[in-house]
Structure 1
Amino acid sequence: MNKLNIESNIADPDAFYESLIDAHNGLTEEESHFMNAKLVLLLANHIGDADVLREALAQARAGVQSSVSGAV
């Protein structure tokens, strides 16, 4: 069974983040959400391992409600 890698694994994370932000430029909020959903599904398909995907979902969900509520 594979395990979710949560260590830094992107050669140039700042460049990736800039590309991610650039990909959203000019999109409406709805289009941006749709693009994010498509990106998640494309990457999930690339990963393909159901156990890794479940672990990623759990990691992403952990603390989201309290973090978003606390940010307001």
Structure 2
Amino acid sequence: MTHPSQTALITTPNLVAPDDFYEALIEAHQGLSTEESHAFNARLILVLANHVGSLAVLRQAFDAARPG
């Protein structure tokens, strides 16, 4: 049986401590230039995409993140 997280993107609130996550994300950007911040975000996306591991789920995330 496939675990649901492997086939479907979770779009409902799922962070145990969302405010702590946000604070940690902001702290991770401290001292970075705009260019360095963009590069950090790109690397972070690749690390998290590797963790997800499913192109189907990542495609759902692309759609969810698009404006409109």
TM-score (norm 1): 0.83
Structure-2 residue corresponding to 1:42: 47
Which structure 2 residues correspond to residues 1-72 of structure 1 after superposition, within 5 A? Answer: 2-63=7-68
Could you tell me which residue of structure 2 aligns to residue 68 of structure 1?
A: none
Structure 2 alignment gaps of length 5 or more:
1-5
Aligned length: 63
Determine helix, strand or coil for the equivalent of 2:57: helix
The percent identity for this pair of structures is 52
Q: CA RMSD in A?
A: 1.0
Give 5+ residue unaligned stretches, structure 1: 64-72
Q: TM-score, normalised by structure 2?
A: 0.88
Give every structure 1 segment of 4 or more consecutive aligned residues whose post-TM-superposition deviation is greater than 3 Å. none
State the 1:61 CA deviation.
1.2
